[in-house]
Amino acid sequence: MKVAIVGASGAVGQELLRLLDERNFPLDSLVLFGSTRSAGRKYTFKGKDYEVKLLQHNEDFKGVDIAFTSAGAGTSAEFAETITRYGAVMIDNSSQFRQDADVPLVVPEINAEDALVRPRGIIANPNCTTIMMVVVLNPIDRLSHIRKVHVSSYQSASGAGAAAMQELQQQYKELVETGEVKTIEKFPHQLAYNVIPQIDKMTGNDYTKEEMKMFNETRKIMHSDVRTSATCVRVSSLRSHSEAVWLETERPLSVGEVREALKTAPGVTLVDDPQHYIYPMPLESAGKDDVFVGRIRKDLADDNSITLWLTGDQIRKGAALNAVQIAEYLVRSGL
């Protein structure tokens, strides 16, 4: 099994390296790719050094079985043909192909088998905020069909990449040292001491692209007509996103049955003891695999609705881990 990572120097690329090692992914050879900025850097994997090669339109992908790509939508669009030409399966972390009818969009806990039908050799990894939410929604949807979701996200700096994480730390440093923030490059506004109700660009209906991803991707992954209305917000946690979710089901559900369903759901850890102030927080889910869920209660405004709170590591389950789990499924299915 030959594996390639495109975007090896980024936050997700680095997490992919850690996960392939940690989970003992059955690979025999590894090749790393990057832009001119990262070509030539060296990373160690299982005691061996690997140099990042420049991603180019050539025959470098001959013999590659699985290519994880995490270098942005533009790079995925430009290089998809080069990457898949000789049969590599491209597991793409960008938003480029997610809504294409001939590209499966996969969260293994929910629709793993969709990954087996991939006419273009591409499997899309969903948006981080969507992945975490659907891992929690799906077991509830099995109890009673979810018709509507309202969600407000609290997305950490890591969602904007490794340089954005550094920028947030730099902003706090500048505040302590000089009383004002000078470095604002990766975020549209100062994030330190602030929250920003904008993630990704605005679309024509005044929802951001991130919010529309939550609407569209949730439907595709869950094969559902559910309608999701989201407000996506950047907060100053470093890594690990959170979401407050209100969901309306066809029949009213009790808190007890929702808790029971989530207790045994794959990829979910229940942290829910409200009377003892026990609930999930991003500091605790950072670096972990599962999505953590708590604050489960009846919605006071709607008898058919439940409200809950979840947190999950955006770089892990929200990106790299989900991609590796897709690859593991392909291997189990005889790739």
Residue nearer to ligand 2RA on the CB measure, 50 or 187:
187
Residues near ligand 2RA (CB under 6 A) are: 127-129, 155, 159-160, 199, 210
| Strand locations in 73-221 (E) | 89-92, 122-124, 146-155
Whether residue 72 is annotated as binding a ligand: the answer is no
User: C-beta of 185: minimal distance to ligand 2RA in Å?
Assistant: 15
Q: How far is CA 321 from CA 11, 115, 240, 318, in A?
A: 12, 16, 13, 7
Both tokens of 118, joined, read 């991939």
User: C-beta of 145: minimal distance to ligand 2RA in Å?
Assistant: 26
Both tokens of 218, joined, read 């949730």
User: C-beta of 92: minimal distance to ligand 2RA in Å?
Assistant: 12
What sign does the dihedral 56-60-61-65 (CA atoms) show? negative
- The structure tokens 């990704």 sit at 200
Whether residue 316 is annotated as binding a ligand: the answer is no
User: C-beta of 256: minimal distance to ligand 2RA in Å?
Assistant: 33
Q: How many angstroms separate the first and last alpha carbons of the chain?
A: 9
Residue nearer to ligand 2RA on the CB measure, 1 or 73:
73
Residue nearer to ligand 2RA on the CB measure, 56 or 203:
203
Determine contact, residues 258/296, Cβ cutoff 8 Å.
Answer: yes
Whether residue 159 is annotated as binding a ligand: the answer is yes
Q: How far apart are CA 186 and CA 165, in angstroms?
A: 9
Name the phi and psi angles at 273, rounded to 5: -135, 75
Residue nearer to ligand 2RA on the CB measure, 99 or 304:
99
Whether residue 227 is annotated as binding a ligand: the answer is no
Other beta carbons within 10 angstroms of residue 148's beta carbon come to 15
Other beta carbons within 10 angstroms of residue 176's beta carbon come to 9
Q: How far is CA 18 from CA 27, 269, 324, in A?
A: 13, 22, 11
User: C-beta of 199: minimal distance to ligand 2RA in Å?
Assistant: 5
Whether residue 158 is annotated as binding a ligand: the answer is yes
Looking at beta carbons, which residue is closest to ligand 2RA? Answer: 159
Whether residue 10 is annotated as binding a ligand: the answer is yes
User: C-beta of 260: minimal distance to ligand 2RA in Å?
Assistant: 30
Q: How far apart are CA 127 and CA 132, in angstroms?
A: 9
Q: DSSP for 167-203?
A: HHHHHHHHHHHHSS----SSSSS--TT--BS--S-B-
Which three-class secondary structure state does DSSP give residue 137? helix
Whether residue 94 is annotated as binding a ligand: the answer is no
Residue nearer to ligand 2RA on the CB measure, 125 or 144:
125
Determine contact, residues 151/245, Cβ cutoff 8 Å.
Answer: yes
Residue nearer to ligand 2RA on the CB measure, 209 or 227:
209
Residues annotated catalytic, as ranges: 128, 241
Determine contact, residues 106/124, Cβ cutoff 8 Å.
Answer: yes
Other beta carbons within 10 angstroms of residue 223's beta carbon come to 10
Annotated binding site for phosphate: 98
Residue ranges of the annotated binding site are 9-12, 37-38, 98, 155, 158-159, 234, 314
Q: Which residues make up each annotated binding site for substrate?
A: 155, 234
